[in-house]
Structure formats: structure tokens, C-alpha cells
Structure 1
Amino acid sequence: GFKLAKWASNDSSVLSDIAVDKRATTDNREILRTLGLHWNRERDEFTFVALITENEKNCTKRKLISDASKLYDPLGFLTPFVVRAKILFQKLWQAGIDWDEPLTTSIAEDWSKWKREAKNLWKIKIPRCLIPSPMEETDSTELHVYGDASKWAYGAVAYLKVISKDKTTVRFIMSKSRVAPLKTITLPRLELMAALIAAKLGSFIKNSLAMPIQRVICLKDSQIALSWIRIEAKNWKPFVKNRVELIQQLTEPKLWKY
């Protein structure tokens, strides 16, 4: 089989036991790229770099997609920012703009603003370590998943709450988002779609993390969506029924909070 190499650690004592030729090398002593992400091993944080050219004339749909795809964000750390590019792309399809056709004035202005703001992504730092205290000192761990929606997009974000004897810490794990369908859907239904993403996200994280999680708490700010989730699915019409059934299979309805 393959022998593992290019080892890296934020702990010098760990690296001291690894042969020099087996360690990861980089021009920057602190920053390493791992699976497309930038990791500051000294601070043990994920950082972000946007290699996007700001001042360009005659930007096209092809160029917009090319630039947006340069942000590799598999865990959704940048979801609020990335989803704005997805919304602009949807607007381009609605406007019927061809691949190499210049953007409309309003979309071009929004895109220029997005690219200007992309320069500041380096300021975002996400701690890699989810549990800063030793596991034996941890009293309980809870997964809190928030779902939300607007007329433009919907999604969910998950945090791990770790309660120990001396302190409580909260860590951002990951998020997911989708652009709202072109077909008009009522906001309560979009909120339910966000709740389904939250349920799937919570289930995925709980099954993926190699640690005990005492509770998975899901939160929504839509009383209508919550009422659907808390009542037996068969009472609703197909659109609501199908999604509520999945949500109830993946989560405990009583642990959905407002």
C-alpha cells in the first residue's frame, strides 16, 4: 500500500517524531494547504485566500462562474458570501444572458461589489479544533443546528457546544445553502426546506464525528414550519408531508426550538 507522507502538525513534539523527509514543506512556515483549504498550523485556524481579479472590463457570465469557483469552501465556512454569487448566477439565467455576453449594469455592479469584498476574506479565521479541552474533562457535547430562509436562498449552519467543568465553548462546524427555486414558493415552505437541510446536516455531522453527542437541537424562526414538524406528517399535503417525514426520521420533533 501507499506510505503516508507530507505530515504536518501544530504540535512541535509530534513533528519531532516524524522524519524530516516525511514532513510537509511549504514556502510559508505557518500556512499549509490541506484538501484545498488553507491551514495556519501555528494558530490552528483555517484561513481563506481569494485569487480573484477585481478590475476587469466586460465581465461575462463565463468569467463570473470561473471567479466564483475559485473559492473552494467544502465545509461552508463562507456560505453567506458564496451564496451571493450563486444568486447572481441565477439572475443571469433569468435574464437569458449568453456565456460570453457582457453582464447587465445592475448585475455587473453587484458582481464588482462582491469581488471587492472578496479581498477581505483573509480576515476570517475559523478554529480547526472543535474540542479545545481534553475529552475526559468534557461534561457534555451538544449539536445546535439553525435553519433559515429568504426569498433568495435557504440553508443551515451547525455549531458544536462543549460544556466542561471550567468553561463552555462553541465551535462552528459547517453549513449548507441553496438558492431558492425560480418557481415561486411561499416563505413558510422555503423555511421547511431549510429545516430539511438542517435535519440532514445534523444527522450527517452526528454520524461523522467520532465523539458522543448528547443532544441534537434544531432551531427555526418560523412558527409555521415548526408546527408542521411537530405534528404527524400524514396530516399535511404532499409537499409538506414528504419533507416533514424526512425531518422526523432524522431528528426528534420535540428538540426543535424557536
Structure 2
Amino acid sequence: MKDLEFGIDLLPNQRSLGLNWNLETDTFFFEVMTKDKSFTRRGILSCINSIFDPLGFLAPVVIQGKNILRNLVLGTKEWDEPLSEDQLDTWRHWRDSLIKLEDLHISRNYFPESLKRCKEKRIHVFCDASEFAIAAAGYIMTTSSESKCHTGFVLGKAKLTPTHGHSIPRLELCAAVLAVEVGCSIADHLSLQITDFKFYSDSKVVLDSRSFLHGKFLCVRVAFLQHVTRSFAGLSGCSGWHYCTKSRIVEAFQEAEKFIVRTVQQEVFTEEIDYLMQNKALPESSSLLSLDVFLDPDGIPRVGGRLNRSNMP
């Protein structure tokens, strides 16, 4: 850099935190290394992992490669076993498409105007799910001093779904949890005064968590979303499904823990809880009959200890 003559020489490309940075155009770009990779599971894994994309610019492309690799894992036994002809054609089609990524340039700045001059800064996070992947993407929208709106991509994430055992409503719920995680990450790392957070899902099941039959898998994820919503609404009077940095206080985590415990116990001890709420003795068939069970002020069944029978004051 010290030997450059500004205004005449072109600025060189730099690497910043693992990203390729074109100083001349002030944009990020990508270099794809697809040569000298063997047509095996090991070579495919090496090719996919060579794409460094911490902000999720290429998430829609990389997730397809991961899905191809997963299908190959199910169809081959050894890491160095050559691919079949059908598998080879699928892999080549995806690998050859990576060359087009070298033509992609993404502006380093969110907007042409300085963020300090913007009157409002809002975060919008979108999520969705399919049979093979879940994804979430966060954007920042600002209103300038001239009342003009600008939108910029901040962070995106995509994950493969399990191969079996999950319905679309469950996957939509997982996508909603991923969206909240993206929002939390943006709130933690973006050193700006954010006016508002908004989350979007096209799943009515997610938007109305009461429609879930609370199993152990579901209740933990619903509790996480409830924790974000209730703590935010309780502290600032806001409503809706969004995130607040103040939601990490001790009381908020305690309420989230109580919600999880109460939900799981309601699923396992439904009959016993009904009897306790009516101040009736537990049925003889109950596994809790030999225990001194009672409901605490939060409606959570608890068991009395031996200290209750002692003479201690």
C-alpha cells in the first residue's frame, strides 16, 4: 500500500476477516476453488468447506451442496469411494455453477448514506422451511434525513433438515427459532441503536403457538419464542413477535424456565394436576401417590421433603 500512487494506481484486493475485499469498488467478492478435487465424498466435503461465507451471502447456494453431500453419504460407504455416474452428473452440475459466483460483488456498505444520519433503523428477519432445509435472513431498513427508505442485507443462515421424523409445521417452528437466533446475533454484534425488530413467517401454526400439541420437542422451542415475546412486551409495553436486548435479565430466564417445566409436567401429569387444582386426593393409580405433592404459587407440582416433618422452626 505504501508504494501506491493514489489516483493513478489501482487499489489491490485485500482479505478482511476471511472475506475478499476489492478496495477499488469497496465490495466483497468470492474466489471458488473447484480444481484438483477428487470425485469422492472427501473431495466434495473439501470443496464445500472451501467456500467461506460467514454472513450467509451464499447460503442458498451452499445449502444445495450440503444437501448433495448428505445424499451421497447415504449412497456410499467409504470416504474415498468414487461416485456413480448419476451422482457424478449431479455433483458436476452444482460445482460448475460455482464459477458464476466469481462475478458476484456485494457492497461493503449497507447504504450509500451514513447510518449515523438515519432517523430510524429497523431490523426485519424473514424465515421459511421446506422438506430439505430451513432458513432465515435479516435485513436492516433505515429512513434517511430526507425521508427516503433504504434496505440492506445483514445476516443469513440456512440449515439442512433431518432426513425423517419431522413434519412441515415442526420445521416451520425450527425456522422461527433460527430467525430469532439471527435477530439475537444482529442485536449483539451490530453496534447501532435499533428502533424496532420485526420477524416474519408465512406459517399460521408458528404465529399461533397455541395450536401446537406440546411435546418435549415442541415445548422447548415454543418456550424460547414465548420467552422473547413475553419479556419484551413486559419490559417496554410492546406487542408482537420480536426481540429486545433487555430480555436477558434474570427474571426473564426464570419465567422461561417455569414455562418449560409447567408445559412438560402438564403433558405427563395431566390427571394429577387436575386433582391438585381441585384440592382432591390423587387417584390410587397415580405414580405420585406415595409422594407429598402440592402445587406451588406458579401452578407447578412440587414434592415436599423430610424437613416438613421435622421439628425445626
TM range (shorter): 0.7 to 0.9
**If you compute each CA radius of gyration, which structure gives the higher value, 1 or 2?**
2
3-state DSSP of counterpart to 2:91 = helix
After TM superposition, the score normalised by the length of structure 2 is 0.67
Query: 2:179 aligned to 182, 198, 204, which one?
Result: 198
Whole-Å Cα distance in 1 between the matches of residues 116 and 162 of structure 2? Answer: 46
Structure 1 residues 106 and 226: alpha-carbon distance in aligned structure 2, compared to 1, 3 A threshold: farther
In the TM superposition, what is the alpha-carbon distance from 1:28 to its structure 2 partner? 7.3
- Which position in structure 2 is the counterpart of 1:15? none
Whole-Å Cα distance in 2 between the matches of residues 29 and 165 of structure 1? Answer: 32
- What's the CA shift string for 1:186-233, capped at 9, x where partnerless? 0111111011010011011112111111111111111112211xx499
Identical-residue share of aligned pairs (%):
30
Instruction: Tell me, yes or no, if structure 1 residue 109 matches structure 2 residue 95.
Output: no
After the TM superposition, which residues 58-73 of structure 1 pair with which residues of structure 2 at under 5 Å, given as runs? 59-73=39-53
Instruction: Tell me, yes or no, if structure 1 residue 187 matches structure 2 residue 168.
Output: yes
After TM superposition, the score normalised by the length of structure 1 is 0.80
Query: RCO higher in 1 or 2 (8 Å CA, sep ≥ 6)?
Result: 1
After the TM superposition, which residues 87-166 of structure 1 pair with which residues of structure 2 at under 5 Å, given as runs? 87-166=67-146
- What's the CA shift string for 1:126-175, capped at 9, x where partnerless? 22113532344211011111111111111211111111133211111111
- Provide the aligned C-alpha RMSD in A: 2.4
- Which position in structure 2 is the counterpart of 1:213? 194
Q: What amino acid maps onto 1:106 in structure 2? A: D
- Where structure 2 has 5 or more consecutive residues not aligned to the other structure, the ranges are 4-8, 233-238, 243-313
Size of the alignment, in residue pairs?
Answer: 228
CA contact (8 A) 2:205 2:211 kept: no
CA contact (8 A) 1:149 1:155 kept: yes
Query: 2:218 aligned to 225, 230, 240, which one?
Result: 240
3-state DSSP of counterpart to 1:151 = coil
CA contact (8 A) 2:136 2:178 kept: yes
In the TM superposition, what is the alpha-carbon distance from 1:92 to its structure 2 partner? 1.7
- Where structure 1 has 5 or more consecutive residues not aligned to the other structure, the ranges are 1-7, 9-19, 22-26
